[in-house]
Amino acid sequence: MYSADIRQPLVTGGKTYSDVTADICRPIENKPTNSWWLGFSIGVVLLLVLAGTLAWTVWEGIGTWNTNKSVMWGWDITNFVFWVGIGHAGTLISAVLLLFRQKWRMSINRSAEAMTIFAVFCAAIFPLFHMGRVWLGFWPLPLPNAFGSLWVNFNSPLLWDVFAISTYLSVSLVFWYLGLIPDIATVRDRATSKARKYWYGFFAMGWNGSAKSWGRYEVVALILAGISTPLVLSVHTIVSMDFATSVIPGWHTTIFPPYFVAGAIFSGFGMVLTLLLIARHVMNYQDYITKEHLEAMTKVILLTGSVVGLAYITEFVIAAYSGYEYEQYAFANRMFGPYAWAYWTMMFCNLMAPQVFWSKWARTTPWFIFVISIVVNIGMWFERFVIIVTSLHRDFLPSSWVMYHATWVEVGIFLGTFGLFFTCFFLFAKFLPVINMAEIKTIIKDKE
């Protein structure tokens, strides 16, 4: 009666509604597997690394990093932008694809949204701990105070960041949670132990799936998707303004907002693919995350990768055309200066590597996609590194030109954020349905 115009079935294996429920609730209801324990332990160990390195940073001062008089932002803000970028895919997949009525999103949007939230957690660590006085981290909030009420600077992109990131995090959380409610209700009604009944009942908020509720629910979800779309775009636009509104050659570029947004989608999809391919393999979700899904996502990667590549080239051409020697030098220095290796890594990973997805084989071969998704993640990290470090290390006055290399503390914090990310993700996979059951059930019939 309502079939979507998709050639391949979105869910394979001839699943019934109760099969879907059983499949997706299985990890929640059963004891964790060994592979879960392994992954979770690695996550926790890395999380301890994060705790240790952050504690050391706070104890000693951020002098334990190698940032210096010219490169005052190094791995910290690189990682921040990296994680915020990753944090874009989830909401984008849910929101934009919902608006475009792309039903293939349904298998992946839950985990992508979770990823968004965890990535934003990871991202938030950096602007907080890169502060020299992290204990005063609440000062950028416009609170009345005893200093005559000294306010905040609404001209500062960092303040915009404060608003943007906190709004993004809270709206994403709401969006994610809203989607979780019917599924939590499902788990609740299947639960037999007292604790599970209580807690899933607590979070299900009394959901019973009445047609009236579903009617409102769908409208709210649609509007949330509608406002989340500009929100997603605005967040990375504002992050890009951290650079674009400055005077530093290589930063002071009007192309940054679209370029950063495309990069964010690109890196977000890269990370979604990485995670989903693992989850698909480990949890045997091949029927829910089909090759059709993978192919659709690789196409997005191909598109956004090309957009990002175009931005790189545009940026360079504009700099060359600008007649502004500092800008010209900044870009030439990226390509051929001491950090050229980072630039070419970025170019290879972000512009060249995704082009393999013109091939159908590449788009449908999971292990290959996995490799490319990792490459994309690496490439996007280098993009931020290139933008931040190569612009700062040689700016206007050659007397202040410096080199910058991270210390083990900075590396430890970065690795540690992966610990936080994976710990959260494994907990999520254990306690919450990683695929949106309610939505999947609506498309089971769309197989013909």
Partner 1 sequence: MSSNKYWKGVEELDQTQEFVSSNANEFSEGLPLEQVFSNDDSTRANRRDFLKYFGFGLGAVTLAACNKAPIKKAIPYVEKPDNVTPGVPLYYASSSVSNTEGFPVLVKVREGRPIKFEPNKEATYFGGGLDGLGHSALLSLYDTNRLKGAMVAGKRKPIAWKDFDKEIVTALNKVKAAGKSIAIVTDGSTSLLSQQAIADFSATYNNTDVVSYEPISYSGITRANNASFGKAIIPAYNFQNADVIVSFGADFLGTWISPIKFHSDYSKNRVPKNGKMSKHYQFESIMSLTGSNADVRVPMKMSNVGQHLVALYRELGGATPHKGMEVAGNNIKNAAEELRAAGNKGLVVCGSNNEADQLLVNAINMMLGGYGTTIDTTNYYMGQNADEAAFTSFLSKAKSGAYGAVITLGSNPVYSYSGAEDILAKIPLRISTSITMDETSSNATHVATDLHPLESWDIKQPYKGRFILAQPTISPVFEGRQASSSLAAWAGADVSEKNELSHAYKYAKKVFSSAVGGDFNKALELGVVENTSSPSVPSFNITGGEAADALATKKGSATELVLYQKVGVRDGAYGNTPWAHEMPDPVSKVTWDNYLTMSMPDAKANDISTGDVVKVTVPTGSIQIPVLIQPGQTKSTYGIALGYGRVLPDDVKNDLKDLGQNAYPLVDMKGGFADYTIGDVKIERVTGASTYEFGITQTHYSIEGRDIIREATLDEYNIDPLAGSHVHKPKMISLWDDYDYSKGHHWAMAIDLNSCTGCSACIVSCSIENNVPIVGRDEVRRRREMHWLRIDRYYSFEAPTKKDLELSIVHGGDQTVEAGEQMTKEKVMEAYSEASEDKSTAYNYYENVKVAHQPMMCQHCDNAPCETVCPVLATTHSSEGLNQMTYNRCIGTKYCGNNCPYKVRRFNWFRYNENEKFDYHFSNDLGKMVINPDVTVRSRGVMEKCSFCVQRIQSTKLTAKRENRKMNTDEFTTACAQTCPSNAIVFGDLNDKSSEIAQLYANDRSYHVLEELGVKPSVQYMTKIRNTKATSTKKAH
Partner 2 sequence: MIDKSILLDDKTFTVGIFDDSDKLLNAVGTLKKKGVKIFDCYTPFPVHHLDRALGYERTNISIGAFLCGLLGSLTGFTLAYSMNVVDWPMIIGGKPQDISVFTSFIPVIFELTILFTAFGMVILFFARTRMIHGIKEDLLSRRQTDDHMVLAIDNGEPQDMSASEIQSLLASEGAIDVDASRTSFNTSLTDEDELAKQLMTK
Partner 3 sequence: MSSFYSESTFLALIILSVVLLAIAALLFGIKRHLSELNREKFAEEAEPSFYEAKIKPVIDTWNPTIATLVIAGVLIVILGGFGYKFGMDEVGVQQGYAPSQPINFSHKIHAGQYEIDCKYCHSTVEKSKSASIPSLNTCMNCHKYVKASEKYNGKTSPEIQKIYNAIGYDGENMEYIEGYEQKPIEWIRIHNLPDLAYFNHSQHVVVGKLDCQTCHGPIQEMDKVYQYSTLQMGWCIDCHRERGIDSENNDYYEEAHKNMLAEGKDYITVAENGGLECSKCHY
Length of the chain: 448
Q: Least distance to partner 2 from the beta carbon of 146, Å?
A: 14
Q: Minimal CA–CA distance to 252: which of 350, 324, 334? A: 324
Does 178 interact with partner 3 (rule: CB under 8 A)?
Answer: no
Q: Which does 101 bind (CB under 5 to 8 A by kind): partner 2, partner 3, partner 1, none?
A: none
Total number of residues binding partner 2 (CB under 8 A)?
A: 74
Site string for partner 2, 5-34 (x = CB under 8 A): -----------xxx--x-------------
Q: Minimal CA–CA distance to 19: which of 406, 288, 318? A: 288
Ranges of H-type helices in 355-395: 360-364, 366-385, 391-393
CA distances from 269 to 258, 318, 371, 372, 448 (A): 16, 28, 13, 11, 28
Contact positions vs partner 1 (CB under 8 A): 60-63, 65-70, 72-73, 127, 130-134, 136-137, 139-140, 147, 150-153, 155-159, 162, 242, 245-248, 325-326, 329, 332-333, 335-337, 392, 394-403
Does 323 interact with partner 3 (rule: CB under 8 A)?
Answer: no
Q: Least distance to partner 2 from the beta carbon of 382, Å?
A: 27
Joined together, the tokens standing for residue 306 give: 């090309």
- With CB under 8 A as the contact rule, which of the stretches 113-121, 208-216, 300-308, 413-421 interacts with partner 2? 208-216
- Which letter does DSSP use for residue 130 in this model? T
Q: How far apart are CA 334 and CA 341, in angstroms?
A: 9
Which residue, 307 or 335, has its beta carbon nearer to partner 1? Answer: 335
Query: Could you tell me the sign of the dihedral formed by the alpha carbons of 135, 141, 143, 147, in that order?
Result: positive
Does 147 interact with partner 3 (rule: CB under 8 A)?
Answer: yes
Q: How far apart are CA 109 and CA 95, in angstroms?
A: 9
Dihedral-angle region of residue 285 (phi above 0 means left; psi in -120 to 50 means alpha; beta otherwise): alpha
Does 442 interact with partner 2 (rule: CB under 8 A)?
Answer: yes
Q: How far apart are CA 244 and CA 161, in angstroms?
A: 13
Site string for partner 2, 158-197 (x = CB under 8 A): -xx--xx--x--xx--xx--x--xx--xx-xxxxx-x--x
Task: State the virtual CA torsion across 425, 414, 74, 84 in degrees, nearest 10.
Answer: 0
Does 384 interact with partner 2 (rule: CB under 8 A)?
Answer: no
Q: Minimal CA–CA distance to 240: which of 444, 84, 439, 28? A: 84
Which residue, 176 or 414, has its beta carbon nearer to partner 2? Answer: 176
Does 104 interact with partner 2 (rule: CB under 8 A)?
Answer: no
Does 338 interact with partner 2 (rule: CB under 8 A)?
Answer: no
Q: Least distance to partner 3 from the beta carbon of 133, Å?
A: 13
Q: Least distance to partner 1 from the beta carbon of 383, Å?
A: 18
Q: How far apart are CA 9 and CA 316, in angstroms?
A: 43
Does 146 interact with partner 3 (rule: CB under 8 A)?
Answer: yes
Q: How far apart are CA 65 and CA 115, in angstroms?
A: 28
Which residue, 146 or 397, has its beta carbon nearer to partner 3? Answer: 146
Site string for partner 2, 419-438 (x = CB under 8 A): ------------------xx
Q: Least distance to partner 3 from the beta carbon of 312, Å?
A: 41
Does 143 interact with partner 3 (rule: CB under 8 A)?
Answer: yes
